[in-house]
Amino acid sequence: MTAVVIRTENLTKYYGNNLGIENLNFEIKKGELFGFLGPNGAGKSTTIRLLLNLLKPSSGKAFLFGKEIQKNYQHLFRRIGNVPGELKLYEELSGKQFLHYMNSFNRKKPILRDELLHAFQMNNQDLEKKVKQYSRGMKQKLGIIQAMQENPDLLIMDEPSEGLDPINRNILYDYLIRFKNDGMTIFFSSHNLAEVEKISDHVGLINDGKFIALEPIIDLKKIHHYT
């Protein structure tokens, strides 16, 4: 039986009286690329922040690798790579310093760093510059590389293709498909159906904090028309 990597039980988050998400129940298995699809403000980022223990749920629970997140996150985070939706980097560090700094938290070898830097065409001259000198696309590439560089067991990405040109988007997609085939579990949020169709196995379609659909991408394409 394939292990379940992410599981939620009636996961709910309110911000005061305002709904973030309500009663989300889903499972994501090892080696699955799960597309989390919905318009801006649908609840995607709230869900991701709960999975990363950046928010506490109003009710319900979430589990990673079979362990409740809130009680075990200090151990779980070492198995996770993350690309935040609102990417904010340490502007005064150089690109190289930033990658080293992010790697220092996990103390795992960044075994894919050099390969990723080459694939995304970031050279030594780029890495010596301060992050504040980077374009939006370069910052996004750096954020993606730091998330992938340790070959994590779980990759959680919130709109990771935003700011990338078409060439670098395809490089990202190729890596995600490769990682999935190698057994990595990937949680990928987007508001773009075509993007989710391109790479996902299963999809959760969310709007106004609630699931509209939760099914294999093939079935979703037959039933729903969403852009």
Q: What angle do CA 79, 82, 87 make, to 5 degrees?
A: 160
The confidence score (pLDDT) of residue 53 equals 95
Element (H, E) at 93: none
DSSP state of 42: S
The domains of the chain are located at 4-223
Is residue 221's pLDDT more than 80? no
Q: Which fold has domain 4-223?
A: Rossmann fold (3.40.50)
Average confidence score pLDDT of the chain: 92
CA distance 39 to 212: 12
What CA–CA distance (Å, rounded) separates 169 from 127? 20
pTM of the model: 0.92
Task: Tell me how far CA of residue 46 lies from CA of 9, 25, 198, 209, in angstroms.
Answer: 15, 14, 24, 9
pLDDT by residue (tens digit) across 83-102?
Answer: 998 778 889 999 999 999 99
Judged against a pLDDT cut of 60, whether residue 24 lies above it is answered with yes
User: Is residue 212 pLDDT above 70, yes or no?
Assistant: yes
Q: Measured in whole angstroms, how far is the alpha carbon of residue 145 from the centre of its chain? A: 12
Burial class (CB in 10 A: 0-12, 13-18, 19+), 19: middle
pLDDT computed for residue 226 by the predictor: 45
